Amino acid sequence: MTSTSHPHGLRAELESLTTEAFRPELAEIDRLPTVEIARLMNGEDTGVPAAVAARLPQIAAAIDAVAARMARGGRLVYAGAGTAGRLGVLDASECPPTFNTEPAQVVGLIAGGPQALVTSVEGAEDSPELARRDLDGLGLDPDDTVVGVSASGRTPYAVGAVVHARALGALTIGLSCNEGSALAAAAEHGIEVVVGPELLTGSTRLKAGTAQKLVLNMLSTITMIRLGKTYGNLMVDVRASNDKLRARSRRIVALATGAADEEIEAALTATGGEVKNAILIVLSGVDGPTAARLLEESGGHLRAALAAATG
**Residues involved in catalysis:** 94, 125
What SS3 class is residue 250?
helix
At position 47, the amino acid (one-letter code) is G
Rounded to whole angstroms, the Cα distance separating 272 from 277 reads 9
Which residues are within 8 A (CB) of 156 and not within 5 positions of it... i.e. 6 or more apart? 125, 126, 127, 128, 131
Q: Look at residues 217, 185, 226 and name the one whose alpha carbon lies nearest to residue 59.
A: 217
Q: Look at residues 73, 96, 92 and name the one whose alpha carbon lies nearest to residue 84.
A: 92
Q: Look at residues 146, 243, 222 and name the one whose alpha carbon lies nearest to residue 186.
A: 146
What SS3 class is residue 112?
coil
